Structure 1
Amino acid sequence: MAVDPEVKRHKYDLSKLKHKKGSAKISYDDGTYTIRKGVDVSHHNGVIDWEKVKKAGYEFAFLRLGYRGYGKEGKVLVDREFQSSFKRARAAGLDLGVYFFSQAINEEEAIEEAELVLRELNNSKLELPVVYDPELINDDEARTDNVDGDQFTKNTIAFCKRIKKAGYKPAIYSNMYWEDRLFDLKKLSDYPIWFADYSAKPQTPYHFRFWQFSESGKVDGIGGSADLNVEFIKKQ
């Protein structure tokens, strides 16, 4: 991965990170930053017992609010568990953010996705960002197969600007491939990154706020596998 000197680097001292690949156990404190644990979920996780999740030590959650189908029609849909999970996770005391799984092929579709997010949120309070989650579909044909990095970047900016205009804080879901091959990170510098990397340590040199470190975690209250995350937070 060629490092762009014009893109902001993270300042975390990852030698202080205690984590083994595949493990749910994780800790970090470098004197300036520490972490707190969270999960991200969708209807694929079924009905979640959020009280148990909270008692297990998880302080925040990103809920999938909706998604666009990756077939030709590309219909935008709300995650069928979103509203129920939102209410119960809120009652359990978790800080909440949401994400939208995008298959937008242009800015107009990205704005359409943002509008669905805003309608479904209906001015609900969020402690964490609204995350734009564009992804490639590797095991099937997808409507985004011919979308290049420049267009993905434009779509991301369009979504984030609409979310910000409505008073929410936007962020971007990313990984090494997207940062190296697709996103123009210089144009996305206004938005926090939620970085996915299932290694022992996050491998990106660039700044990120959230790290999704496992897609196969076991969490009391969540059936099957769960995505595990940490947020890097500055100590007071």
Structure 2
Amino acid sequence: MKKIGITFSLIIILCIVTFTGYFINNKKKEDGKYLKATKNVDNSEMLGEDSKSVDDSDMVGQEDTLTTDYKDEREEKTTDNTEILKFVNPYGEWFETEISDNIPHHSYEWKYLKNKNDQISYEGDKKYYIRKGIDVSHHQGSIDWKKVKEAGYEFAFIRIAYRGYGTEGSLNLDREFYNNINGAHDAGLDVGVYVFSQAIDESEALEEAEFVLDKLKGITLELPIVFDPELIRDSVARTDDISGEQFTKNTIVFCEKVKEKGFEPMIYSNMYWEAFMFDLVQLKDYPIWYADYEQIPQTPYQFTFWQYSESGIVPGIEGKTDLNIEFCTYE
């Protein structure tokens, strides 16, 4: 009887140790450093094919009228009058960065911004108004662009290409690109394109630009060609050891090649990249497509487009879709 009791106790202890080890290992995975992962991908992209997962459970659901109090909570001044921004990533991790006066700041007024069930409005500003848009890739499948247009969406950024994040880093055309751009144009939407970049140096960034320009022959764009360099969270990727300095060089090479061919370039970014990766002083002449799923954009810096949700429901599209707005100036 005593042996049975000892054996049972050992089993209980073993179960506790096993569970604790499992919890710690998974906690370590969750605590990895934040990389730019507003678009999450899985291991299929190692072979040049990517898969996007979305989860926007923290987005504002009810109607929110946003005030300057939110901004005041995130910004403070040090004793030497240096402005410090506190910001949070989609995983709940907080960071601090010094706000630079050498980078152009936006002048949007968030008191005019409202969000009701992922539907943004911005009314009352005498300088700016907004347009609604989406961004898509083959992950959205076959899209009924007429329904998208009828739902009030005026523009779309369509993925034209992506590079796999594995060692080989093959460059691929998005398999729904031509269907999407033709459908969007036929429905009357303004269109731009983006490339998911895994370039590790300037030569690969140039290769991505040339690939995109080749696929755009004979196609008219109303919106920019977007360079979207990303790091992969919780997976080994070819860009893991690439510095912010190198990413900045890659971005300049891509954008200048696009400009050389008569297109407008743009950069996809978020607050982490603006604080710790990109040299925005070198990139200040290029427009920014800014991704942030907080109540208001956390960046103090200039941007033109805001990707505010990655879990929008849009008529004509099955499943979840990224939602965007464009800030336009009154003529």
Normalised TM-score (structure 1):
0.98
Residues 89-142 of structure 1: CA deviation (Å, up to 9, x unaligned):
100000000000000000000000000100000141111000000011002110
Match of 1:193 among 288, 291, 309: 288
Partner of 2:122: 28
Are 2:317 and 1:227 equivalent residues in the alignment? no
| Superposition deviation, residue 224 in structure 1 | 0.3
* Matching of residue 4 in structure 1 with residue 100 in structure 2: yes
Alignment deviations for residues 29-77 of structure 1 (CA, whole Å, 9 cap, x no partner): 3111010000000000101000000000000000000000000000000
Using structure 2 for the length normalisation, give the TM-score: 0.70
Q: Percent identity?
A: 59
Q: Does 1:84 align with 2:179?
A: yes
Distance in 2 between the 1:54 and 1:219 partners?
A: 10
Match of 2:39 in 1: none
- SS across alignment from 1:231: strand
1:45-84 matched pairs, under 5 angstroms = 45-84=140-179
Give the aligned length: 234
- Alpha-carbon deviations, 1:197-219, whole Å to 9, x = none? 00111110000000000000000
1:124-168: CA deviation from partner (whole Å, max 9, x where unpaired): 111100000001100211000000000000000000000000100
Q: Distance in 1 between matches of 2:129 and 2:110?
A: 11
Query: Which structure has more RCO (C-alpha within 8 Å, separation ≥ 6)?
Result: 1
SS at match of 1:115: helix
Give the Cα separation in 2 of the matches to 1:59 and 1:24. Answer: 16
Gaps of 5+ in 2: 1-96
- Note the aligned Cα RMSD (angstroms): 0.7
Q: Which residue, 226, 229, 240 being the options, matches 1:134?
A: 229
The answer on whether the counterparts of 1:19 and 1:201 sit within 8 Å (CA) in structure 2 is: no
Which residue identity lines up with residue 122 of structure 2 in the other structure?
A: Y
Asked which structure has the greater CA Rg, the reply is 2
User: Gapped runs of 5+ residues in structure 1?
Assistant: none
Query: Which amino acid is 2:312 matched to?
Result: G
Moved over 3 A (4+): none
Contact 1:67 / 1:79 at 8 angstroms: preserved in 2?
A: yes
Matched position secondary structure for 1:65 = strand
| Aligned partner letter, 2:113 | L
Residue 252 of structure 2 corresponds to residue 162 of structure 1? no
